Each structure stands twice: as C-alpha cells, then as structure tokens.
Amino acid sequence: MNNLPNDHLINHPWLIGGFAVAVVIMLLLDLGVFNKKSHTISNKEALTWSIVWITLSMVFSGVVYWFLDKPFGITDNFAKYQAAYWIEKALSVDNLFVFILVFKFFKIPKEYQHKVLFWGILGALVFRAIFIFLGVELIKLTYINLPFLGIDPETGDPRELNVILFVFGIFLLFAGFKSWASDNHENEEEGADMSRNIGVRLVYRFFKVTKNFHGDNFFTVENGVKMVTPLFVALVVIEITDLVFAVDSIPAIFAIAPDDPFILYTSNIFAILGLRSLYFLLANSMDMFSKLHYGLAIILAFIGTKMIIMPYYHFDSSISLTIIASVLLGSVLLSVLNPKKPVE
C-alpha cells in the first residue's frame, strides 16, 4: 500500500497557471514569430525546437519535485511525471509514421507541413484534456469491494478493485502482445491509401474540396464557392489519427497517476508539443526505431500487469520510471546496433 504524502498539482494552482502561460507563449512564438511565413523546417531548426520542448518539460518536472516532493523528502510526483512523459513520447513515435504517410498521400509540400501539424496538435491538446480529466473522474467512481480480494494486511481495510483500471490492464496486455508481433510498419505502404479514411470521407461529405493547394490556406473561395483545400483534409486525418492512438497512450498513463489528472495532462502536453519538431528531425531516419515496437510491447505489458495486480501490489513510482526508461533506452540502442536492412 502506498503511504506517501498525498500532495497533488491541484493544490498548487499557480504552478498550473504557470504551465498554461508558458505553453501559450511558446505556441504564439512558434506560429506568430518563428513560423509566421511557411518554410521548410531544417534539421537544425527541428533539433533546436526538440531541445527547447524537452528542456521545458524537464524544468517543469524539476519544479514539480521542488514544490510537491522535496518538502516531504520524496520523489513520487517527479517520478510519476517523468514516467507519464516518456510513455507518451515513446507511444507517439507511431504518430510519426502516420504523419509521413498522410503527407506523402496528399502530396503536402514540405513548407506547409509545419502548419498542419501545429493546428493538429492544438486539437490534440483539447481532446487529451477531455480524455484525461473525464477518465480520472470515472476511475474515482469505479472502485468496488469483492470478498475474494481479501484484506490489506498493512491497513486492515478490504482490498478494492477498480473496474476501469482492470479493463484497461487487460486491453494493454493485448496491445503489448500485438505490438510485439507487429512488423513495425514494414507493410505501411500497403495501407497508405488514405482515400477511405473516415476523416477524408467526412470532409468530402460536408465540404467541397479543391483539387489544388491555395498556399498554406485551409479554406478558400473558387468561383464564389467556399471550399476547403487538401491541406484541411490532411489536418482532419491527423486529428482523427491522434484520437485513435490515444486509445493506447491514455490508458497507459492512468496506471502512473490515476488520481492526479494535472500530472498526467502536463506531462502529456509537453510530450505532444515536442512531437512536431521530432517529426521533422526524424522523418528521414525512422529506421533507427526499427526495434522500438519490442520495447513498447514490454512497457504496455508491464503497465497492463501493474493495473491488474493493483489491489495486491503497488509499484513505487521510481521503480516504474526505472523500468520504463531502461526498456526504452534498451530498445533504441538495439535499433541502432541492429538497424533494419533496406529492402532490395
């Protein structure tokens, strides 16, 4: 049983406000200053922004430790933040493959890709907030007492099973086995036809779509008719894709801090915001992640198991972080040492 002091980010509203202000300022600088004019993102620029977003996230995790953990001589909230951040970061790599396919299928010029990802990720901020805060509230309501669970020897209280976490645990075990057995996108070209994607069908059902791009505009007027451009179609596909991938990542982070939505949301958002620059940095070198799906499989299986056995055993947050970080690092090193051979 976890008897650590129960301090949460909600008890420090100024930290939450500081996080919100920092994110808004960075987004305004990103779109309104550094990317005011559409241009191709260079590797140097992508690397710089990747470092900026990771640094901001690490600084915020340090602030979390200083105000939530240090007064009690613990590292619990810091470890939860770090674990949730790196889980989302790792699981988001699959999004990068989808970005590549979407941009290739719709023939999105490189200078317009940043704008699509910018607005796509803004949508993700909203949907992740809904999923995380609603999920935490549902988790609070679904604890049940079952006689066969027995009594917790440390507290003397009946053990409780959380129905949602238990179901998520089974789902993540299945997702882990599926990830292990996957071919890591080797057949991605076969599924690259986006014309049947639900997002594409919805756009064409409700809007008139131009055949050509109109600069970096999502909307335009042709012959007096308001229309959307292929850039808007790509944006909708990316938004829906993020919703699909959230089905894996959101349940996974609930195992880390099921009672603190702000830890989950802040770590999640910093990971997502760094995804755009990571795409431009790694779009042409995705083979370096060829073994990552094995690491993700182990992590998903570990988190699923953690959720299932939660009534009987609680993994300390620092232990969870150590396992997750070790598996991620190991799978990346394995990918580097054993790169995928090019198809002849």
Instruction: Assign 166 a pLDDT band (cuts: 50, 70, 90).
Output: very high
Mean pLDDT of 25-29: 87
CA dist 280 and 277 (Å) reads 5
pLDDT exceeds cutoff 90 at 64:
yes
pLDDT at 157 over 60: yes
Give 65's pLDDT tier (boundaries 50, 70, 90). Answer: very high
**What whole-number percentage of the chain has pLDDT above 70?**
92
Beta bridge partners, 209, equal 228
3-class SS of residue 18: helix
> Tokens 């299932």 identify what position?
308
> Residue range 162-174: average pLDDT?
91
Q: How far apart are CA 291 and CA 90, in angstroms?
A: 12
Arithmetic mean of pLDDT over the chain: 85
**How far is Cα 317 from Cα 243, in angstroms, rounded to an integer?**
27
Any bridge partners for residue 151, and if so which? 158
Which residue type sits at 165?
L
Dihedral (CA of 82, 84, 90, 96) sign: negative
Dihedrals phi, psi of 151, to nearest 5 degrees: -110, 140
* Mean pLDDT confidence for 178-204: 70
Q: Using DSSP, how many helices (H) and how many strands (E) does the chain show? A: 12, 4
Whole-model pTM: value is 0.85
DSSP of 206-263: HS-B-SS--TT-SEEEETTEEEE-HHHHHHHHHHHHHHHHHHHHHHHHHTT-TT-HHH
Lowest mean pLDDT among 182-191, 237-246, 315-324: 182-191
User: Residue 102 in contact with residue 194, Cβ under 8 Å?
Assistant: yes
In this prediction, residue 82 has a pLDDT band, given cuts at 50, 70 and 90, of very high
Residue 281 · residue 47 · CB < 8 Å: yes
Q: Note the pLDDT of residue 61.
A: 95
What pLDDT, on the 0 to 100 scale, is given for residue 208?
92
Helix residue ranges per DSSP H, 65-151: 76-91, 93-105, 110-141
Residue 188 has pLDDT above 60, yes or no: no
Q: Specify the pLDDT at position 156.
A: 77
Residues 275-324: pLDDT tens digits? 888 888 877 666 666 787 888 889 889 999 998 998 888 788 888 889 98
How far from each other are the two terminal CA atoms of the chain, in whole angstroms? 55
Q: Is the pLDDT of residue 183 over 70?
A: no
Contact between 314 and 1 (Cβ < 8 Å): yes
Phi-psi region of 73 (alpha: psi -120 to 50; beta: other; left: phi over 0): left
Burial class, 149, CB count within 10 angstroms (exposed 0-12 / middle 13-18 / buried 19+): middle
- Give pLDDT tens digits for 200-229: 898 999 999 998 999 889 999 988 899 999
Mean pLDDT over 178-189 rounds to 63
What pLDDT was estimated at residue 312? 86
pLDDT tops 60 at residue 3: no
What percentage of the chain exceeds 90 in pLDDT? 28
Q: What was the pLDDT predicted at 316?
A: 82
Contacts 24+ apart (CB under 8 A), 221-229: 228/203
Higher model confidence: residue 14 or residue 335? Answer: 14
Look at residue 151 in the predicted model and tell me its pLDDT: 86
Confidence of residue 189 (pLDDT cuts 50, 70, 90): very low
CA distance 113 to 280: 9
Determine which helix (DSSP H) or strand (DSSP E) holds 52, and give its type and residue range: helix 43-64
pLDDT of 314 reads 78
